[in-house]
Amino acid sequence: MNKTICLTGIALGATAVILGAFGAHGLAKLLDVDAIQTFETGVKYQMYHALLLLVLGSMKQLPEASKKMIFYFVLIGICCFSFSIYLLATNSLTDFDFRTIGLVTPLGGTLLIIGWSIFGYRVYKHFD
């Protein structure tokens, strides 16, 4: 599981760099400043949580079951949170109105908070 967690963190980190560059250069002339800032928020949160996964996958102190639970909360959370933000920020570029899926963003944020909370609790319980 550690390898999967770390590789997922690496993939999400690399994707965040790619999307950050795309947002700064590819979307700069297509979107207004507010939409670009919104897009960048998604990139930041994706990168923060990619780094969290690298830390989680590298920790020997936590049981595998705890890591697995945290991993899934964070992974699903980042997919719901950041990817919905990318779609909402680029809404003006498509015919589909992504605001109809706007509730996915707070759901993703809630999953991230749960993942962090479980992580904090497990670290508290397993570290002396």
The per-residue pLDDT for 81 is: 96
pTM above 0.85, yes or no: yes
Residue 80: other Cβ atoms inside 10 A: 21
CA–CA distance, 44 with 40 (Å, rounded to integer): 6
The per-residue pLDDT for 126 is: 86
The parent domain of residue 69 ranges over 2-126
Task: Please enumerate in sequence order all residues whose Cβ is within 8 A of that of 128, keeping only pairs 6 or more positions apart, or say none.
Answer: none
CA–CA distance, 52 with 9 (Å, rounded to integer): 8
Task: Please enumerate in sequence order all residues whose Cβ is within 8 A of that of 70, keeping only pairs 6 or more positions apart, or say none.
Answer: 56, 115, 118, 119, 122
C-alpha closest to that of 123 among 67, 78, 71, 73: 67
Q: Which two tokens stand for residue 98?
A: 């992504």
The per-residue pLDDT for 128 is: 67
Consecutive sets of 10 residues in the chain, 128 residues long: mean pLDDT of each?
A: 95 97 91 93 97 96 94 97 93 86 92 97 87
Number of domains in the chain: 1
The per-residue pLDDT for 124 is: 92
Residue type, 72: Y
Q: Is the dihedral of CA 113, 119, 125, 128 positive or negative?
A: negative
C-alpha closest to that of 35 among 87, 96, 97, 104: 87
C-alpha closest to that of 7 among 54, 60, 74, 44: 54
The per-residue pLDDT for 94 is: 85
The per-residue pLDDT for 12 is: 98
